[in-house]
Structure 1
Amino acid sequence: MEYSTIHSIFTVILFVAFVAFVIWAYSKKRKTDFDQAANLVFDDEQKAPQKNKQESGHE
């Protein structure tokens, strides 16, 4: 096999992997998981002030 043939096959494999990844990422099954992951940042902010109130009461 020539170098150009191997390079072409590798390019096609990477393109197919990219298309599969995009389909996986934008599928409806994954939407709820990604929405939950996106809201994890806000869950931490709600818990942090409660800890501060508890710590300040013990001093």
Structure 2
Amino acid sequence: MDIATLHSIFTVLVFVGFIGLVVWLFVLKRKPDFDEQANLPFADDQKPKQQQKQESDHE
């Protein structure tokens, strides 16, 4: 087995992995998961506001 054959096999494996990744991301209906993850940065902003409101209610 020479180096050209190894390169060809590696190229085919990477291509199959790429196609698998595309199918997993875009075809398997993962939109609810993506929507939840897209809102994660905003979840941190809500916590301090709620804590501030609770602290002001105690005064």
What TM-score results when the alignment is normalised by the length of structure 2? 0.78
d(CA) in 2 for partners of 1:37, 1:31:
10
Aligned to 1:34: 34
* SS of equivalent to 1:29: coil
Identity among equivalent positions (%) equals 55
Structure 2: give runs of 5+ residues left out of the alignment: none
**Deviation sequence 1:10-44 (CA, Å, 0-9, x none):** 11100110111011111242111011011111121
Structure 1: give runs of 5+ residues left out of the alignment: none
Higher RCO (C-alpha under 8 Å, 6+ residues apart): 1
**Residues matched between the structures, number:** 59
CA RMSD of aligned residues (A): 2.0
Name segments (4+ residues, structure 1) moved above 6 Å.
none
